Amino acid sequence: MPICGYLLRLVIGIFNRLRALFKTPVAATLVTAVEPDPLPGGADLAALEPETVVAQAEDWWLVETPEVLPAVVAALGPRLRTGNADSVHRITCAYTRGRQAAAIRRGEVGVFSGPRSELRVRYYVVLANGRGVEPYYTRDYRTYLEDVKFQGVFDVQAISHGFASEAEVTAFILGAGFRSLPHLR
């Protein structure tokens, strides 16, 4: 047992050193008078490179997000605690789905594509619907359904997705072009 504890501390120490190496200071121009809500999943906005920090804008779907997974998004992988799927793969898929959400809003594609997680959905992200909902994420399935269904039928203009963890929500939000979203409880 003592060897396992030692190895765990060693791995955590190495991870923290690597994480510190990849941190890039945020430009002073990005600091605002009001501190934004922290990202779900514990992502550190200070680790975002200036060009990957995007403003909360009405036209979120027009924000250019890097095709290559930013380091801060990749760092979310080890924070996953659910399921046994490969954490880097899950985070990459969530980020890619966020980019697809923006492409759906721009009319470039019609639906999400790629592999789907088989893990239980616990978090729901709603980015748009036909009634002008403000983007948010929630754990409440009823709240989610109120905004993606209209008269018992799924709203064809709704752009939403479900995930098993907050870390995946964060990756999706960043991929879609947001800095953060409100969490409705």
Enter the DSSP assignment of 165.
S
DSSP 177: T
> pTM above the 0.75 mark?
no
Give pLDDT, residue 17: 54
Q: Range of 30's domain?
A: 2-184
* The total number of structural domains that make up the chain: 1
Place 29 in a pLDDT band, splitting at 50, 70 and 90. very low
- Residues 6+ away with beta carbon under 8 Å from 64: 177
Question: Which one is predicted more confidently, 126 or 29?
Answer: 126
> Please, which pLDDT band fits residue 174 given cuts at 50, 70 and 90?
very high
Angle at 98 between CA 94 and CA 101, to 5 degrees: 135
